[in-house]
Structure 1
């Protein structure tokens, strides 16, 4: 049984709270975020006791963290602390909820413009891939470009995920390439989806996966590193004198081409497996704004023709 007392250091309390409530209950990648929060507690409030966590102390902690982090990161920091603090309130170690009415500050985020290829550049890349008779990393590059799936989702694909009669690819798991622990659940419930494929790509993969174990990942043979595939893609881009993008940039490329082709944001969000359409809108804001400007020109031309 884990015991706490009011004079215990808050960072020690938080570490025990992580062990009690989070270890084994959340994904390893999420657990790491709690340990990063613990690191910042030991850095910013190493001597603060649990009973000293007042509204003022908590706000000062948030303000100190916000000096070197963007607002969204500070908000995440706040959420990861709040649950532990509310448990401390429930257990009587803190008298009142110090997180109430907390003000979230943070550095102004630098404008992030996503990197992607245009249609001509993508066509150039795909036309020059080394697509052998057996699966290699260039085939993975092709598949992500054609589907927009995440790198971990692509690594998690097994032969039984292909439905050749309906030309779909079932995304229902990922491969943990960071910790090398095997299959993992998808990022969220919305990420479980069926992605439509063009007939040519589906025919290519029907030949490539013949005879492979139905429940084993088709691209994973030993330890996989994101940097390996990124380096291969970068070499292709350099040789073809294209903008250098990452594997994740291929996902952005896929989504961008769909949006420019007139596919609705809702359909793009479903295809990408976003939990909310708001994620799609925020990620591709500059493309959506560009499309809106194009729409305004069309509206103006249409109105002019009425006179």
Structure 2
């Protein structure tokens, strides 16, 4: 009987049927992570044994070692599968109804953004006279608020130096074993970004002689941690709070808002 199937088996079948090939690979890996957690926390839990109590216990067990936002994502994945199970008549009631989302106390996070003075100190410590390097990458994200994968995917052809614009139409799938160009996060992420003259001059010089359609910054396998560790050393050298590459995106947004740019304009620039 369908009710005798184990929860983790049902969830695995469900995600393969409905999610594989329908969501981005990075998103699908998150579903796979949820599956592994269910196997570990409730290896024998049957669909027929699912009640609000047994489901809440599963959430509570997961929450002991994860922060609330992560527990929310875990809950959202399982709930989606169980709503389908309810419609298919595999279960009679929704065990996720009125579920309470808990989570362990958040750990110490890195600084979310820098102020104008700290940004200037960071930029002053960049080395921009040795050809393509991570300093140029950090400069560009600071000046544009690009996502990490968007900046990796940039080619010289994406720059329109005469109009001082940069077009974002793709990302670089650095998390996959099959690295290469990939679609943007969503349709809103396809956009043109205005550049200041200083950035235009710096990148027009940098991209001279480079292949027009090849990524500027990708020469081998890229790891997010590699760039974050490099940025950490730069921050310490500049005597400013340590920030992540994604934090530079937050920084760009916060400085624009502080300067009086509307929320809608900032959202468009960031591709939200």
Pick aligned residue for 2:24 from 21, 27, 31: 27
Which residue among 224, 229, 232 is the counterpart of 1:231?
229
Change (3 A) 1:242 1:63: closer
Q: Is the aligned partner of 1:146 residue 2:143?
A: yes
Which residue of 2 is the match for residue 219 of structure 1? 217
Per the TM alignment, residue 149 of structure 1 is displaced from its structure 2 partner at its CA by: 0.9
| Secondary structure of 1:96 counterpart | coil
Higher relative contact order (CA 8 A, sep 6+): 2
Task: Report which of the two structures shows the higher radius of gyration computed on alpha carbons.
Answer: 1
Partner of 2:160: 163
Q: For residues 227 and 68 of structure 2, what CA distance do their matches in structure 1 show?
A: 32
Between stretches 54-63 and 160-169, larger displacement belongs to 54-63
Verify: 1:191 aligned to 2:214, yes or no: no
**TM-score (normalizing by structure 2):** 0.89
> Superposition pairs for residues 82-101 of structure 1, below 5 Å?
82-101=79-98
Per the alignment, in what secondary structure is the counterpart of residue 6 of structure 1?
A: helix
**Matched residue of 1:169: which SS?**
strand
TM-score, structure 1 normalization: 0.79
1:136 counterpart = 2:133? yes
Match of 1:13 among 10, 32, 45: 10
Query: What secondary structure does 1:170 align onto?
Result: strand
Stretches of 4+ aligned residues off by more than 3 angstroms: 66-71, 100-115
- Matched positions, count: 271
CA RMSD of aligned residues (A): 2.3
Using the TM superposition, give the Cα deviation of residue 196 of structure 1 relative to its aligned residue in structure 2, in angstroms: 0.9
The Cα shift of 1:143 comes to: 0.7
Contact 1:114 1:252 in 2 (8 A): no
Report what 1:204 is aligned to: 202
Mapped contact 2:166–2:194 kept (Cα < 8 A): yes
Check 1:79–1:244 CA distance in 2 against 1; reply closer, same or farther (3 A cut): closer
Unaligned runs of 5+ in 2: none
What's the secondary structure of 2:172's corresponding residue? strand
Query: Which of 52, 56, 60 does residue 55 from structure 1 map onto?
Result: 52
Report the counterpart of residue 173 of structure 1 in structure 2. 170
Alignment of 1:89-128 (within 5 A): 89-107=86-104, 109=106, 114-128=111-125
Note if contact 1:173-1:186 (Cα within 8 Å) is conserved in structure 2. Answer: yes
Residues in 2 aligned to 1:249 and 1:145: alpha-carbon distance in whole angstroms: 9
Gaps of 5+ in 1: 275-307
* Distance in structure 2 (CA, Å) of the matches to 1:104 and 1:117: 32
* Partner SS, residue 4 of structure 2: coil
